A and B are shown apart, each in its own frame.
Chain A
Amino acid sequence: MNRKVMIPIASIIVFIGFLLLKFDFEAVDSSQALWDAFIVTAGGFLTLMIFSFLYRDNPFYKFAEHLYVGVSAAYWMCVGFWSNIVQQAIPHLSPWLSEALDQPFLGYKWDYWIPIAFGLLLLTRLLPDSLKIGWLSKWTLAFIVASTAGLLMTANLKANFISQISSTMSLPLLPDWTGFGDFVSNFDLSYGGQFIKMLSNWVIVVGVISGLVYFFFSKEHTGWFGRVSRLGIWVLMVTFGASFGYTVMGRVSLLVGRLTFLFRDWAGIIS
């Protein structure tokens, strides 16, 4: 027997062994107990299979990958079909279809035919090339890209542009300023203190302006312009550094969650 046969057989034996270990032989409902044992065992094995990728690509990883892709693709197709077509479109299109699919008929709505027509046009791509109507699908694509780009333009301009600039403008560079003497005599480095407020406002204003200068594309970044642009990229990199650290902490907590499942629920090493 070669390795290609031995490894799957050994894996199945180990899986069954773990399944028996997790099975509660004293349970009243044995089928439920078997299902629970199977879920935990399969979860543990699949987790280890995915983790095996850290070593290198291998048949176990391939198995988990293909299972994951296949199940998720089928799942999302079903969700899309039932939530969009069956639950939303059909109840407004046909009483007969609504009844057949066990959905309440909510009355005819002519505007529902527009997306349906676009959807059907999109499917013309699947027809044989000899019919020469596949190009009709481009109408749908053009409509999706153009309409959403137009709709998003004002929303993006407002959220990412005007609001940012307006907020920057409102920042006082000398907050609570009552004179240099007061500033020196009341100088303190606490978080809510005047100096820290002033410093943070200056950092934001200078950071926004130098960051904008970095994103000038039609002017060469040399001389004073280049120096401001350089400051801009420094500001960006410091921001990225802070963001990196913050996100990595989040990822570590995800890893801890998965390891907890492995060691507690599956292996039972920790309580």
Chain B
Amino acid sequence: MTLQSRTSRNAFWPGFRLAVYGMMFGIVFSSSAVLSQEATAEVDNASTMLAPMLAPAAPGNVTVEDAPNDAGHAVIVTFSQSQAPADGQALVLGYEIYRSLARSGPWKKVGAVPSDVDVTASLIYKDAGGSDKSSDDYLPTETDLFYRVRAVTADSTLYSDSEVSAPAQAVGQWWNSGRNPVFFFVLFFTLLTLYFLRVAKQRGDSLYIRPLAGIDAVDEAIGRATEMGKPILYVLGLGTASDIATIASFTILGRVARKVAEYQTDVIVPCYDPIVFTIAQETVRTGYMDAGRPDAYRDDQVYFVTQAQFAYVAAVNGTILRDRPATNIYLGKFYAESLILAETGAIAGSIQIAGTDEIAQLPFFVVACDYTLIGEELYAASAYLGREPLLLGALKAQDYAKAVIVVLAILGVIMSGLGYEGFAKAFEAVG
């Protein structure tokens, strides 16, 4: 029995083992099959990713036209973007613009435009070159120009060129129509000035100009300086001779110099700009001559300091505290130094009259000076002081121009409110 059962057990065992091995093999095989399928898929994906991409679609409809209202060294290139990328096509990042003097080249890259998300939108590039033939960006006038647009991708080897455009020329215009509103305003203002100039000549100085407290105070301040036996400090600011505020200030300086010469007191004019210094010297000298006292004029009354802003301020501050002028007059173009000068003058106890057209500096003068001429009051002051027909006529003309502007502004606002935007647009100056 024992032998029989052992025999039957021995007969069973190899079959069982075979079954177990078979099952294990099956499991391993099926696992490896799944793994190999996944691996195959990954390889397939990788092979898809590494597949060489295609160049994008080419941009089209490249048209070139002369840029309007210029000197003839610019054209406007318009083109439609590449179509949305199809399967396998690289994404367009932007467009490079190439120019040539011949259809066949050679081509020169003149600019680039980023692509737009909306591929149906046309893009515009203004090729504005220079007029200097020796410079790299020279764009010839009245010469056939050809353009080509290249769609570029992240891969520098993948790009597409458009067809070459039809030839176009950059042509200069004698009349800038974008500035028509400016022209008409200048014309209108000139005619007004001429008319009021005539009126002012006929009526002499009887044309009314409202009192300007700051300018009325000038005579009083000169009188005070004379009584105190102290000088007057006149600061023309940091402007150059081309700034309107500085030019207006010269007129007032001339008047102050004449008065100073008449009252036999002294004026000090420290200058920031060398050209302003030269003109100021001439102005003060003329003022003394007009007053009949050329002998009283000294060149060192008007002097150049430096062209460094805060060094100039340091020097003027020193003058204010050492010479203790009775009156400080700050008229012209001022920047960050306005409050420093005005504060020092206030500490020195001087009467202070200021005026500038720099809006950011006006608050400082308002708080630290006795009188302030705000913006255009500075320009009007020269007419108010001089009472010359030319200046009076110009001032009157300015007022009428302002009246017209007020009426136009009210009309424009009403028209815009009613939906007629064209009225306001007619006053837009372009270029």
Contacts and interface: CB of A to CB of B under 8 A. Distances in A.
A145 B242 contact: yes
Contact of A76 (B209, B306, B429): B306
Contacts of A107: 134
A168 B314 contact: no
25 contacts: A69-B311, A73-B305, A75-B308, A76-B308, A122-B278, A141-B275, A141-B279, A145-B242, A145-B247, A145-B279, A148-B241, A157-B182, A169-B412, A169-B423, A174-B417, A209-B409, A209-B410, A213-B406, A215-B377, A216-B402, A217-B377, A217-B395, A219-B210, A243-B362, A251-B339
B314 A57 contact: no
A166 B417 CA distance: 14
Interface stretch (A28-36, A59-67, A262-270): A59-67
A92 to B, nearest CB: 11
A248 to B, nearest CB: 9
B179 to A, nearest CB: 7
Contacts of A208: 409
B35 interface: no
Nearest to B428: A166
Given A166-B424, A168-B413, A218-B207, A236 B307 contact: no
Given A65-B318, A240-B366, A220 B208 contact: yes
A221 B210 contact: yes
Given A50-B314, A57-B322, A170 B360 contact: no
Nearest to A142: B279
Contacts of A153: 186
Contacts of B27: none
B22 interface: no
Interface in B383-427: 383-384, 395-396, 398-399, 402-403, 405-406, 408-410, 412-413, 415-417, 421, 423-425, 427
B226 to A, nearest CB: 25
Contact of B315 (A65, A161, A216): A65
B242 A61 contact: no
Interface residues of A, number: 65
A170 B244 contact: no
Nearest to A68: B311
B157 to A, nearest CB: 39
B382 to A, nearest CB: 12
A163 B410 CA distance: 15
B68 interface: no
Interface in A18-63: 50, 53, 56-57, 61-62
B25 interface: no
A141 B427 contact: no
B391 to A, nearest CB: 11
B314 A138 contact: no
A171 B318 contact: no
A233 to B, nearest CB: 8
Interface of B: 134, 179, 181-182, 185-186, 207-210, 212, 241-242, 244, 247, 275, 278-279, 282, 305-308, 310-312, 314-315, 317-318, 321-322, 336, 339, 359-360, 362-364, 366-367, 374-377, 380, 383-384, 395-396, 398-399, 402-403, 405-406, 408-410, 412-413, 415-417, 421, 423-425, 427-429
B242 A149 contact: yes
Contacts of B314: 50, 64-65, 68-69
B300 to A, nearest CB: 15
Interface of A: 50, 53, 56-57, 61-62, 64-65, 68-69, 71-73, 75-76, 107, 122, 125, 137-138, 141, 144-145, 148-149, 151-154, 156-158, 161-163, 165-166, 168-174, 205, 208-209, 212-213, 215-221, 236-237, 239-241, 243-244, 247, 251
Nearest to A241: B363
A194 to B, nearest CB: 14
Given A69-B305, A166-B412, A218-B210, 20 more contacts: A50-B314, A57-B318, A69-B312, A69-B314, A73-B307, A145-B247, A156-B244, A161-B405, A163-B429, A165-B409, A169-B427, A172-B416, A205-B413, A208-B409, A216-B399, A217-B209, A217-B395, A221-B210, A236-B374, A244-B367
Contact of A243 (B186, B363, B399): B363
B401 to A, nearest CB: 9
Contact of A209 (B406, B427, B428): B406
Contacts of B307: 72-73, 76
A148 B275 CA distance: 13
Contacts of A218: 207-210, 395-396, 399
Contacts of A161: 185, 405
A149 B429 CA distance: 20
A158 B182 contact: yes
Contact of B242 (A62, A148, A171, A212): A148
Contacts of B305: 69, 73
Contact of B380 (A57, A69, A122, A217): A217
Leading 6 A-B pairs by shortest Cβ distance: A169-B412, A148-B242, A72-B308, A244-B363, A169-B424, A240-B363
Given A69-B314, A215-B376, A218-B395, A169 B408 contact: yes
